[in-house]
Amino acid sequence: MDVLAPGLVAMILAEVGLTSLPGLLSSYRERGILRRLAVTPVSPTRLLAAQLLAHLAAATAGAALVVGVGMALFGLNPPRDPARLLAAYLLGALALLAIGSVVAALAPTPRVAEAAGLVVFFPMIFLSGAVVPRESLSDGMRRIGELLPLTPVVDGLRAAWDGSGPGLLTLAALAAILVVATAVAARTFRWE
């Protein structure tokens, strides 16, 4: 359970960031909600920030449920390094939400956004170690998995759970993904 739980938490973050958020944001754009907000005191930027926080809260509730049930029913041990777990969790969540914002920015419709998110989500959960341990993958698949943005999330959560980290390289990778994806989303996002 101590190996599975961090992967399940990472999978929740990926689902919320890569499928839920892009579909909602592109729906707001398609229905003209963002355009209408431009003439109200509530800026579209505030709406986006609120949606990011709401999605982060939903992911956190899901993660808490997985951890709570794991501890209560399946003998899941508490994380050995809660501070680093929190750092890896927040950086990972924000990085995946930023990637989801890129998907929302580039997708012309909500259905395309959801489909694109799923096309990214499913291979990533299997190749990053979230569902299938990377050690059981072939060398080629493992190398591909090492390049995916969900991999440092899984690695960071697992390392904090077992008390071995995460290392600065993992946290730096998450921070880099967050910065790059945020910059791309900001440059490509269309309000209408």
pLDDT single digits (tens) 37-71: 777 887 667 777 889 999 999 999 999 999 999 99
| Cα–Cα distance for residue pair 55/16, rounded to 1 Å | 6
Residue range 71-128, pLDDT digits in tens: 999 999 999 999 999 999 999 999 999 999 999 999 999 999 999 999 999 999 999 9
Output the 3-class SS for the chain. CCCHHHHHHHHHHHHHHHHHHHHHHHHHHHCCHHHHHCCCCCCHHHHHHHHHHHHHHHHHHHHHHHHHHHHHHHCCCCCCCHHHHHHHHHHHHHHHHHHHHHHHHHCCCHHHHHHHHHHHHHHHHHHCCCCCCHHHCCHHHHHHHHCCCHHHHHHHHHHHHHCCCCCHHHHHHHHHHHHHHHHHHHHHCCCC
Is the pLDDT at 1 greater than 90? The verdict is no
Lookup: tokens for 34: 């963002």
Per-residue pLDDT at 49:
86
Query: Quick one: average pLDDT of 129-156?
Result: 94
Per-residue pLDDT at 160:
94
Radius of gyration of the chain (CA): 17
| Cα–Cα distance for residue pair 190/84, rounded to 1 Å | 35
Residue range 180-192, pLDDT digits in tens: 999 999 888 877 7
Whose structure tokens read 């419709």?
109
Query: Quick one: average pLDDT of 160-189?
Result: 92
Per-residue pLDDT at 2:
85
